[in-house]
């Protein structure tokens, strides 16, 4: 893990954005379409740590973006070119536009200053969405990535952020995937090669410390 000073330099509130990935009721809530993932997000403490990160970001002035995945009721424009998409169409809970399933899951707080970005296609919260343009307009240099899943959307977000020139920071205890032992393997063997891996507590320490004057 990076030193406190190194991480503190990366996490300047003026140039840091916190991204929550698919922390929506139909994914991590009690009535999830993916109950195994929802259980792991809660049992591992990842969802609780996302709540902590969002609260600290609001308090310290770090911009928050909530990235949600949804589809139209008629399915128009949605991908069908992978097994994952075809399986999702058969799930009992659908991530349909305008339904409770695509609202940010409690107890994560959403304020008027947050951005909520919804995508109708693809696997990435960044590629093909408004997120990249928002990050650039906000002057973002460091993107903190949290949420689910470590299997698909989180690594997509990290890779896309790095490919676009941002520094990615991943609090390892604020992401979850299935099975439970997959997440640490993904972090160790993949995400650690391209992102700064740390913990929620370390990020909170940096968010809460006084900023050094230039």
pLDDT, tens only, 68-124: 999 999 989 988 888 888 888 888 889 999 999 999 999 999 999 999 999 999 999
b/e burial code for range 29-49 (CB count within 10 A of at least 16 → b): beebbbeebbebbbebebbbb
Cβ-Cβ contacts under 8 Å for 90 (sequence gap 6 or more): none
Q: What is the pLDDT of residue 136?
A: 98
Q: What is the pLDDT of residue 10?
A: 95
pTM of this structure: 0.94
Q: What is the pLDDT of residue 84?
A: 86
Residue positions counted in the chain: 214
CA distance 49 to 41: 10
* Residue (of 167, 174, 164) closest to 201 by Cα position: 174
CA distance 74 to 63: 33
């Amino acid at each position: 893990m990076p030193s406190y000073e190194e991480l503190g330099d990366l996490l300047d509130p003026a140039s840091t954005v916190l991204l929550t990935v698919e922390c929506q009721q139909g994914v991590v809530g009690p009535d999830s379409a993916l109950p195994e993932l929802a259980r792991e997000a809660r049992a591992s403490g990842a969802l609780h740590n996302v709540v902590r990160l969002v609260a600290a970001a609001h308090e310290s002035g770090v911009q928050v973006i909530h990235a949600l995945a949804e589809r139209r009721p008629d399915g128009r424009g949605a991908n069908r070119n992978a097994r994952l998409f075809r399986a999702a169409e058969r799930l009992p809970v659908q991530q349909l536009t305008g339904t409770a399933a695509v609202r940010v899951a409690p107890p994560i707080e959403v304020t008027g200053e947050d951005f909520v970005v919804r995508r109708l296609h693809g696997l990435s919260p960044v590629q093909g969405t408004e997120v990249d343009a928002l990050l650039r307009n906000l002057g973002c240099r460091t993107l903190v990535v949290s949420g689910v899943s470590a299997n698909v959307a989180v690594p997509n977000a990290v890779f896309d952020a790095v490919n676009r020139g941002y520094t990615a920071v991943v609090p390892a205890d604020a992401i979850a995937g299935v099975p439970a032992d997959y997440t640490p393997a993904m972090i160790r063997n993949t995400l650690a090669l391209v992102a700064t891996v740390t913990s929620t507590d370390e990020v909170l320490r940096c968010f809460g410390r006084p900023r050094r004057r230039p």
